Structures are given as structure tokens and as C-alpha cells.
Amino acid sequence: MATLGMSEAEREAIGRFDVDVIQPSMTNLVILQFTAEWCGPCKQLSPILDKVAGDYASKGVKLVRVDVDKEKLIAAQFRIQSIPTVYAFHQGQPVVDMTSYRTEGQITRVLDQVLGQLKLESPEAEQAAQVEPLIAMAEQVLAEGDAERAVNIFRQIHEMAPDDDEVIGGLLRALLANGQVDEAGAMLDALDPTLAGKPAISRAKAAIELAGAAPDGIETSELETRVTANPDDLEARFELAGVAVSGKRDLAADMLLGIIDRDRDWHEGKARERFLQLLEAEGIADPWSREQRRRLSALLFT
């Protein structure tokens, strides 16, 4: 917008528009709503735009409002004849006229289409790119058995990305491996319910529940002797699996599959439930878990 011959107030208006809309649009998608205090339809649309902009903020979407009565120059530049008028801006230019979209569903559909074409580098994506190699390093340290160091690394990553479910899940499993069971349980209980269904959180939860279900005061050797003496002692097999889930996953899997092979409905399918929990704790995509799932399928379907 040219500023030659404009008053100081008009230049200030152009400057505000540049700061609020043009500059952010260089890396984001800016939803620009022209509105006014007296506009009834604007008041109906504004809460919807607020919600959508909040939901899409992590994807690089920002909402800006221009009051046509207070910013008459800007409204004139865009030849605003009726309100609400809504545009989506990117790299300093309007890319979509969103004025006709008035419901949340309509607005989200058009945003999904536009974002799919623009492929913005959202703050969420930038953070993920920074955090991903750090998570991999922490997971490697945990896999190598240095649980204390893994806890420290995951704590540092958690400070950077407190809402990242992969980070939270890794920290929970590291705490558990380091013997900090109470802290892991308390952290899990305090999580936002919306995170509960995330695979990384479900995996950590399964591991914590398995640790909590392990019988106390029973030696592995004692239970192994009972199973050797009586392979059909399913209670001994189940208790041995409970002890073995920490550090002896092959033995735990063998014991649980042995129960399923002998009586798949034992205690209303308790062994199968515990077996699937073990696989979830190890990670469903883990090669070991995939192999154990094949073993289970062979028992159930042959």
C-alpha cells in the first residue's frame, strides 16, 4: 500500500496492518475478519472464527480483526461494502475469500484445503523437528539400560515440549525403569485426559500397570520350580509372568502363551489380556511384539 501523500494517522494505520497482517502472513495463514461493533452477523461469526483459529493455531493459522469504523483507510483499500468480510492471507496476499463460509465445518474444510496446498512450516512442525532427534537419543540410552540418564534427558526434552505425547511417554517409561514407580504413576494420573488415548501414553500406562500388578516377595526361581514340577499349574505360570515382565519379556510371553494354550478362557481370558498388555508396554510396532502377536494368532486360529 502506497503511503505518499497520506496523513500521519493513515500511515500509522498502514503500519499497524503491516505488523498485524502482512508480516505474520509471510510464514502463517492469517484469517482477516472485517467487522464492526454494530454488526449482528459479525457477532455470530466471531466466536466460530475464534474457536477455529484456536484449534488451528499450532498449524500456523492466526486470526486478525479489523474494525471498519476505526480503520476506514484499510476498509477502503479492500473496498469493503458489507460485513462480515473474511479473507485468508498468505505471503502478503489474500489467497481465499472466506466470506461465504459461516459454519465451523465449512471453515475448517476450506482451511484444510488451503493448508494442504501451502504446506506451512507450523510452530508444531518446527518443534517436532527439533525434538525428534533428542527423543531418539533418549530412547537409545533407555534401551541400553541407563535409566537414570534417560530420565534426565527426557526431563530436559519435556521442558522444551511439555505437551508432546512421545516425550511424556518416554519419560514415564524411563522413570519406571529407574524404579521411580510412584512418580511415574502420579505423573500419569495428572495428565490431561485428551492425552490418554495417545499410543505413547498408552504404552507407558501399560508398562506402569504391569509393574503394579507384579507379585511381591516371590522369587523367579521358586515359581520356575513350581511350573517345571507341574506345567499345568496355571496360577504359577501367571505369577511367573508377572515377575518376569521386568527384564525377562521372553519368559513372561512364554508363560502367558502357555496358559492360553492350555485354557484360553482361564479366569475370563486374564492371561490373554495380560499378554496384550505386555505387547503394548513393549510397543505395538516393536519387532518382538509383532513376533509375539504371530505366536498368539497361531494358538488361537490353528
DSSP 3-state assignment of 33? strand
Alpha helices in the chain (DSSP H): 8-17, 23-25, 40-56, 72-77, 104-118, 123-143, 147-160, 165-177, 181-189, 199-213, 220-229, 234-244, 249-262, 270-282, 287-301
Asked about 94 being catalytic, the answer comes back as no
Bridge-partner residues for 97, per DSSP? 87
φ and ψ at residue 94, rounded to 5 degrees: -70, 125
Q: Which of 13, 14, 31, 42 is catalytic?
A: 42
Please name the residue that has the C-alpha cell 526431563: 155
Closest CA to 210 of 297, 157, 116, 279: 279
Return the C-alpha cell found at 193.
485426559
Return the C-alpha cell found at 99.
466470506
DSSP 3-state assignment of 4? coil
C-alpha angle 220-221-222 in degrees, rounded to nearest 5: 90
> 284 to each of 194, 232, 293, how far by Cα in Å?
21, 29, 9
Q: Which of 39, 66, 141, 243 is catalytic?
A: 39
**Quick one: how many helices (H) and strands (E) in the chain?**
15, 4
CB 153 within 8 A of CB 138: yes
CB 299 within 8 A of CB 271: no
Asked about 291 being catalytic, the answer comes back as no
| Residues with catalytic function | 39, 42
